[in-house]
């Protein structure tokens, strides 16, 4: 697995890069790039890991990821099978100089400048108009692309947002660190249903248990158990949207060993019980 520095292909002709992801699953390796990224999910479910936080995603979700913030979109297991329901998303990539030196410094764009700063925390929104504008932008040409792009930024700056990280992401990840963290995250996703022992993950990272605990806390700002519980809760959120899974089935499907701990960890993360969470999406 390659380390995480990632280059977004450039075009001499265009200031804004538009990328379409259309296939069995999204790119699922932890990576970062100096460009800001806005991604609209039209089809696909899973978990976004970004900075040192995570959240489940589904159709209609929009994310804005700040420059150099490590991230990955990990689809649910069904998307890695021969019968994958397929994914579809449109992403915009740009940097602070895409439209010229000091473009985002002008007075009229101060709300957008703040939006760019806030994207370091990673933003999630659900907004039908913004989603439609993102999905339609690939059909625009010449100045119409820039006009629609600025409208998207303006709407993002004014709509209600959820932040994936509680603070601006400031942790530094070098190439060797990224490789190791990538392996840890991949192992956690692949063995989520099992009892994951810290010694096992430490072995994957080629560290002793004590070295691993220090390493993980240093580069994510949380313990591995905290990370694993959050991962299981976010995985449960995706399953809770499907009525054919009972709460008990979901509990064991995402790796919790008993219902009481599942309910406790879910409430700690989401502020409500799994059943209340399910009802909130039916309302």
8-60 residue pLDDT tens: 655 545 689 999 999 999 999 999 999 999 999 999 999 999 998 999 999 99
Can you tell me which residue has the tokens 């792009």?
149
Q: What is the pLDDT of residue 281?
A: 77
> Which residue, 71, 74, 80, is CA-closest to 165?
71
**Cα distance between residue 40 and residue 133, in whole Å:** 10
CB 122 within 8 A of CB 169: yes
- Domains of the chain (ranges; CATH) run 17-163 (2.60.120.10), 175-282 (1.10.10.60)
215-251 residue pLDDT tens: 999 888 899 999 999 999 999 999 998 888 999 999 9
Residues of the chain by 3-state class (helix, strand, coil), percent to 5: 45, 20, 35
Strands 61-65 and 123-126 turn out to be antiparallel
CB 99 within 8 A of CB 92: no
Query: Phi and psi dihedrals of 217, rounded to 5?
Result: -65, -40
Strands of the 36-43 sheet, one edge to the other: 17-23, 87-94, 36-43, 61-65, 123-126, 162-163
The pLDDT-based confidence of 280 (bands split at 50, 70, 90) is: confident
167-220 residue pLDDT tens: 877 665 665 667 889 899 999 999 999 999 999 999 999 999 999 999 999 888
112-142 residue pLDDT tens: 999 999 999 999 999 999 999 999 999 998 8
């Amino acid at each position: 697995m390659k380390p995480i520095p990632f280059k977004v292909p450039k075009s001499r002709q265009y200031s804004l890069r538009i990328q379409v992801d259309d296939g069995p699953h999204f790119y699922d390796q932890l990576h970062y790039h100096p460009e800001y990224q806005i991604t609209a999910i039209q089809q696909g479910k899973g978990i976004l890991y970004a900075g040192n936080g995570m959240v489940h995603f589904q159709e209609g979700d929009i994310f804005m990821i700040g420059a150099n913030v490590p991230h990955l979109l990990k689809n649910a297991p069904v998307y890695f099978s021969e019968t994958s329901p397929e994914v579809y998303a449109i992403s915009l990539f740009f940097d602070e100089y895409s439209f010229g030196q000091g473009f985002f410094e002008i007075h009229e764009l101060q709300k957008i400048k703040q939006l760019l700063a806030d994207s370091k925390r990673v933003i999630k929104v659900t907004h039908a108009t913004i989603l439609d504008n993102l999905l339609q932008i690939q059909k625009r040409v010449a100045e119409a692309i820039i006009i629609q792009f600025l409208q998207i930024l303006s709407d993002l700056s004014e709509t209600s947002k959820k932040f994936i990280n509680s603070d601006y992401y400031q942790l530094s990840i070098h190439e060797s660190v990224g490789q190791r963290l990538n392996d840890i995250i991949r192992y956690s996703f692949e063995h989520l249903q099992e009892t994951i022992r810290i010694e096992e993950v430490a072995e994957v990272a080629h560290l002793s248990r004590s070295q691993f605990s220090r390493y993980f806390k240093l580069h994510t700002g949380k313990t591995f158990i905290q990370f694993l519980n959050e991962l299981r809760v976010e995985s449960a959120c995706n399953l809770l949207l499907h009525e054919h899974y009972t709460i008990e089935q979901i509990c064991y499907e995402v790796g919790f060993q008993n219902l009481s701990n599942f309910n406790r960890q879910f409430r700690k993360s989401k502020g409500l019980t799994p059943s209340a969470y399910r009802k909130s999406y039916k309302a």
